[in-house]
Structure 1
Amino acid sequence: MQKITCLLIFMAFNWSNAQDYRFGKVSEEELQEVSNPTDPEANATILYLSQKTYYDFTQSDGFVQITEVYQRIKIYNKDGFDWATEEIKLSDNGSKRETVSGLNAVTYTLVNGKIEETKLRKDGIFEEHNNKYWKTEKFTMPNIKEGCVIEFEYRVTSPYISIDDMNLQYTIPIKELDISVRIPEYFNFNKYVNPRATYIPKVNESTVSRTEEVRSKSRESNSTGFGNTVKTNFSSDKFNFKEYKTEIKLSNVPALKSENFVSNLNTYRTKLIWEYAFYKSPSGQITDYASNWDEVTKTIYDNSDFGSQLTQTNYFEDDIDALITGVTDDSQKLNLIYNFVKSKVKWNDYLGYTADSGVKKAYKEGVGNVGDINLMLTAMLRYAKINANPMLISTRSNDIPLFPATGAFNYVVAAVEVLNDVIILDATDKFATPNVLPVRAINWQGRIIRKAGSSTWFDLLPKDIVQENVSLLATINGDLSIDGKVRSQLTSFAAKNFRSEYQNFNAEEQLMAVEKDKGEIEVSNYEISDMEALNKPITYNYDYHLESGIEQIGDKLFLTPMLFFAPNENPFKQDKREYPVDFIYSFNDRYQVIMTIPDGYEVESMPSNSVVQFQGDAGEFKYIAKASGKSLQFLISINLNKSFILPGEYDNFKQFYQLMTEKQAEKVVLKKI
């Protein structure tokens, strides 16, 4: 009896201390929490996340997908305020629309020891139409303050059977997560936990029974001596079936932590990915939905907002004829048409491989989405007898597709197939050039769809070595200030990035950007060449006066030959790397330094010559120093041929970068004579 009493007391104690995750049951303890116990650096924490997906049955529509979402989030500081906005992406395709209902949202704050509630009002709810297929419903919580707790719930009704990917990890920690999916046996899915994730959850599967009722009515007419009578008969039939149930219950899910040189953290997020494989009718007949890439590309090509856009030419024929009349070289034609489209139609910032406005309307109005612009470009190139085809791409934000599906792509570019190579063109970016795409579009592989119906993959990894050549002249004055000149030349992606960054800068802003993080420097005579000549490298020059480049100790001077170009620290500090290092492209940085020392001084010591390699020719760093009288010459080159470094290679790569960083920081020592 005593043991039973103790057990009851223990259970009561735990029940009283268990967290109540019913809506509206926010506790003072949650509001008083100042940081996450397991992740003190987190700006916010998802205290509880519940998502339930199931298929409701209605007489009129059959099975309808329902997703119920409930979240409770603790916001610790102002950097966590972004978590007070929720975005719900909804299909808005004609009659097949997804809808949100049952939205209920409250912000809780603790004021003088009392919990105060502020409910979401209509003016905090917004709707944004992305294109004719998608819209986003947003809401921003009211009265957001440091230390507040927010909670919201809503329900999404979808006419579609397919299930969206389910995120199980976010960039803030999750204390409790509860995912439940129930699928009638007629709808069969393949499901995967993202194989690139480092946090792998336990997935529980089971089968449950379910019964639904189908009601029907019929009418019968009977003749009597007094006329016809109509009788309505009601009947109902029950049908039993199985449901496949998937459950994931997790505690203390770690935050998805960002690392240097990871372009898309979502690639490594823990998530459950669903592929609708086949439908099995009650009679056993199977309809396959799992596909292959050829079938996917055919489906996309047959879409009137894709394939038929490539056959429309009448709206541009006169302009293109005038543009290329007398031009016989295909390369010249290509560049003329490419630059014409970039200047004619501006990108409206919307993605998509299908045309939104339609190529004809986009051409007339001078604005369109990715599909409008690049399908138009492909059509024009074909009109000019150039072998151009659309290439489907999944952008970095859309992740790398794991299985064939039309949703695996969200972008399209033009691909011109030439002998043993492909030239890729994207006219949505003013500063893009052939094979130099916006970074958003450089993701794994693209799929070329040819006129004849065949399709093939093409590697999007940039093949050219991106170069930055810097010439640095430095003269040390008697007062130990330094005067000099800088000349720099940038090619390929480096040139494109420079043009994109500086395009809207005025002269003063340009000088401020150059002087940033260079110490006590004054820049003058700053000039940029070929800013608009996209087929040429960018070149810029400036004069400088530097006050803080030398350290004097007694009768000795200490200075770093690379001056303000020397890195301050190794960007790779972590002991362990979770995700690959992605530089996007290979590069070769080369610095030539010529330094003149002042009268009355001579060289006591200089950095020694050095060569450091990473995995043979995958990376190489060279440092060559030479003294000739009053002139010191240095040649420093960083050549990285491998732009994607796996976590297993990280230790060696970190060491390579550390040796390189330390070498560039070594000093010349001058002594007074």
Structure 2
Amino acid sequence: MTIDSNFMLRKNFYILTFLVLTSTFLVAQNNDYGKVSKEELTQAFSSVDSTASAEYLYKYRKTYFNYVSGVGFNLITNVHERIKIYNKEGFEYATKKIRLYKDGNEIEDINKLKAKTYNLIDDKVEETPLKKEGKFKIELSENVNEESFTMPNIKEGSIIEYKYSINSPFIYNIDEFVFQHDIPVKKIEVFFEAPEYFVFRMNVKGFLNVMPKREQFNKSLDYTQRVASGGTTNAGAGQGLGRTTQVRGNIKYMSNVISYDLYNIEPLKEEPFVNELSNYRSGVKYELSYTRFPNSSKEFYSRSWEDVVESVYKNPNFGDELKKTNYFKDDLDSIIKNLTDEQEKLNTIFSFVKSKVKWDQSYGKYTKKGVKQAYQKGIGNTAEINLMLTAMLDYANLESNPVLVSTRSNGMPLFPTREGYNYIVSSVKLNGKVILLDATSQNSLPGVLPVRTLNWEGRMILKDGKSSIVNLYPTNMGSIQTFQNVILKEDGSAEGKIRNVYKEHNALSFRDKYSANKQESYLSDLVRQNDGIEINDFEVKNVDNLAQLPIESYGFITESEIDAVSDKIYFSPLLFLATKENPFKQEKREFPIDFSFPFENISTSIINLPKGYVVESVPESIAIALPNDLGNFSYTIKNVGNVLQLKVLKKINYPVLPAEYYLSLKEYYGKMIEKLNEKVVLTKV
């Protein structure tokens, strides 16, 4: 059998071309610090995601243990990052923020910082080093500092590059290795090296398929220590003179190295109805399980949830504060002395705490200045307010316990750790049912927590030192009931009235928005969100009366929702209330769809038709449902004389839908929006 010589020539050409291109790529992608190429600077867009505003061309991190003779181990993290900025939206990546932890005299610090901005000017690479005035340092909290720097001379097409090292005494606290960002990553190299004396547990999150490479190396360290030596002098019995001697030695040990080498990582993009995007960002966290040094027993660092609860409760800024009652006893006694109904007691105490102490907008599971001072000053953090509430409810003989919560912005605590929780709410068991409360929110009600706390599960701390899991998502359905009365006019305009009644979490959301913006800015948003309608006779009832449902009503005039063409009129019966766009655009989705709470929106419309017109056609009435009773939609329209009657129901029965239902949900929303925007056709008689 012979082989086509032309085929062989073509094959050799392809191989040669590949080798040339690969060689060019390797030259252009020299990842040594300072070796930025012209090819990188002229690159106009990311090959991973052409829409990206910036891109990590190279991301390197190595975390390892360093032994200091006479002191012990500390933790070193070396970072090197090179970022390409494609447009002005990417300028935000020219600022790097680094969190540094501290505890008493122990503190993390940065050293060996080098940073440059690169631009291509007249076909030459121009370098601009970071200056002193571009560096900043602030204290975020008692235990966290933040050092940051902003790169100079940033332009569209710039490349920034920086290297630094973090020295940490906290050998048990390994920051998460993050693989996925909001912008694409061309190449990542990650190394984690630890002596055999440190045993770690690996926790992986996200949806990237990452496989670590594991290696072992023989290493040694030199050490010094002082040991007792010598004896007594002959000055007399019992008059010995103790001495110490410095002993030097060398220990051989095995070093464990875990590495990751990743290429072309797509960015994690914002999508609608996501709890907290960082919860799904691919990365790996190493948690110190235990240490075992030569001639020593194991020392365990890994915690169970029972350990976490015990540690939190024993903190004086938690457990001791929870036990204090003297500061409120007299006031509370006078308020509840005539109350016998438990629900009434609960409501009264909850309202009292909200009116007595305002939230300072800071999170925390521990008090800062204490419950007594918060009570006296009238301001406190989440722990001070809700531990105070728990103590008052308990004092009133209601079964109340604090609940540890991780807010949405803090992520989900995937394994037992005190740092996993950053917030406290209160709970009461009434008639066999656990009711959650948060007195930091002025508009919340018993059982209606602010959305920031609706993050999967909390951990209730019981009086016997144990804990139990509490579902933070509500089961009660939020709702908006809308009543619309419309008068259509022959010239293509319409006027009418709308009345909205809000319930449960929708009521909380409405009150928060209206209270925060007040009427003028709220109305501006209402006009903007509804295609520039003209609003009149705006009124809100029960916005401050939490015992009643808030009601919003207003008149409107619109000229943009109706098309009058020749002798016909076309319009969607819901006018500007119809959802115009499907929020679900991605082809696939790997994380859950989080609506925060189950909801039901019911809209009833009466449309009065203009004189001299009759209905030529109306959309068909339909009903569609999601699988497994996850939700349903119905659209019912009737023509009665010169009036159209429309009822629309939109319902989602669960706060969170698994990702496996994404395509069904996308299709469901598509059909729903198509139906809501179908036109009624009127013909002039």
Equivalent residue for 2:453, pick from 441, 458, 461: 441
Structure 2 contact 28–40 (Cα < 8 Å) conserved: no
Q: CA deviation at 1:284?
A: 5.7
C-alpha contact (below 8 Å) 1:530/1:537 kept by paired residues: yes
Aligned-CA RMSD value: 2.6
Which residue is 2:122 aligned to? 112
2-structure distance, mates of 1:154, 1:24: 14
Question: Is 1:551 paired with 2:563?
Answer: yes
User: Conserved in 1, the CA contact under 8 Å of 2:70 and 2:223?
Assistant: no
1:18–1:666 Cα change, 3 Å: closer
Match among 361, 365, 369 for residue 373 of structure 2? 361
Q: Give the counterpart letter for 2:408 in structure 1.
A: R
CA distance in 1, matches of 2:157, 2:25: 25
CA contact under 8 A between 2:61 and 2:79: conserved in structure 1? yes
Choose the corresponding residue for 1:500, options 512, 524, 530.
512
| Counterpart residue type for residue 102 of structure 2 | D
Q: Distance in 1 between matches of 2:430 and 2:524?
A: 44
Cα separation, 2, equivalents of 1:57 and 1:459: 45
* 1:288-307 pair list within 5 angstroms: 288-307=300-319
**Distance in structure 2 (CA, Å) of the matches to 1:59 and 1:639:** 66
**Superposition map of 1:33-48 within 5 A:** 33-48=43-58
- Quote how far apart the aligned CAs of 1:345 are: 2.9
Is the CA contact (8 Å cut-off) linking 2:70 and 2:225 kept in structure 1? no
Trace 1:210-289 onto structure 2 (pairs within 5 A).
210-216=219-225, 235-283=247-295, 285-289=297-301
Distance 1:582 1:261 in 2: 5
Q: TM-score if structure 1 supplies the norm length?
A: 0.93
Does the alignment pair 1:182 with 2:188?
no
SS, match of residue 671 in structure 1: strand
User: In the alignment, is the contact (CA less than 8 A) between 2:487 and 2:496 conserved in 1?
Assistant: yes
Structure 1 residues 570, 10: closer, same or farther in 2, change over 3 A? closer
Partner of 2:5: none
List gaps (5 residues or longer) in structure 2. 1-15, 235-240
Aligned residue for 1:158?
Answer: 168
> Cα–Cα, structure 1 residues 308 and 20, in superposed 2: closer, same or farther, change >3 Å?
same
Task: Tell me the distance in 1 between the aligned counterparts of 2:629 and 2:441.
Answer: 33
State the match for 2:97 in structure 1. 87
| d(CA) in 2 for partners of 1:130, 1:48 | 29
Specify the alignment match of 1:209 in structure 2: 218
Report the 3-state secondary structure (helix = DSSP H, G, I; strand = E; otherwise coil) of the residue aligned with 1:306: helix
Give the structure 2 partner of residue 63 of structure 1: 73
> One-letter code of the match for 1:74?
K
Q: Which residue of 384, 398, 409 corresponds with 2:421?
A: 409
Once the two structures are TM-superposed, the CA of residue 12 in structure 1 deviates from its matched residue by: 11
Output the CA distance in 1 between the equivalents of 2:557 and 2:23.
72
**1:11-63 Cα deviation digits (max 9, x unpaired):** 99559725222222222222222211221111110111111111111124211
Alpha carbons 1:280, 1:287 under 8 Å: kept: yes
Q: 1:198 aligns with which of 207, 220, 239?
A: 207
Q: CA deviation at 1:431?
A: 2.1
Give the corresponding residue for 1:313. 325
Report the alpha carbon displacement of residue 364 of structure 1 after superposing the two structures with TM. 3.3
Structure 1 counterpart SS, 2:141: coil
Match of 2:652 in 1: 640
Question: How far does residue 319 in structure 1 lie from its aligned partner after superposition?
Answer: 3.0
TM-score under structure 2 normalisation? 0.91
Give the direction of change, closer, same or farther, for the CA distance of 1:609–1:216 in structure 2 (3 Å limit).
Answer: closer
Deviation at 1:408, TM superposition (A): 2.2
3-state SS of the aligned residue for 1:170?
Answer: coil
Match of 2:137 among 120, 123, 127: 127
Which residue among 656, 674, 684 is the counterpart of 1:672? 684
Aligned partner letter, 2:322: L
Q: 8 Å contact 2:95–2:149 — kept in the other structure?
A: yes
Distance 1:482 1:378, change over 3 A: same
Gap regions ≥5 residues in structure 1: 1-5
Q: Summarize deviations over 1:354-373 as a string: whole Å, max 9, x none.
A: 11232233333333322222
SS in 1 for 2:156: coil
CA distance in 2 between counterparts of 1:118 and 1:590 reads 60
Where 2:517 maps in the other structure, the secondary structure is coil
Distance 2:111 2:461 in 1: 40
2:539 maps to 1:531: no
Count of residue correspondences: 662
Question: Once the 2 structures are TM-superposed, how far is the Cα of residue 509 of structure 1 from its aligned partner?
Answer: 2.2
Tell me which moved more, 381-390 or 336-345.
336-345
Give the Cα–Cα distance (whole angstroms) in 2 for the partners of residues 151 and 352 of structure 1. 36
2:390 is aligned to: 378
CA deviation map 1:152-205 (0-9, x unaligned): 2222222222212211111111111111111111110110321xx221212111
Q: CA contact under 8 A between 1:66 and 1:158: conserved in structure 2?
A: yes
Q: 1:347 to 1:508 in 2, by over 3 A?
A: closer
Kept after mapping to 2: 8 A contact 1:300/1:306: yes
2:178 to 159, 167, 184: 167
Q: Partners of 2:570 and 2:317 in 1: how far apart?
A: 66
Q: Deviations over 1:88-111 (max 9, x none)?
A: 222222123222222222222333
1:143 aligns with 2:153: yes
Percent of pairs with identical residues: 37
Deviates most, 137-146 or 52-61: 137-146
Q: Which moved more, 1:98-107 or 1:576-585?
A: 98-107
Q: Distance in 2 between matches of 1:232 and 1:657?
A: 79
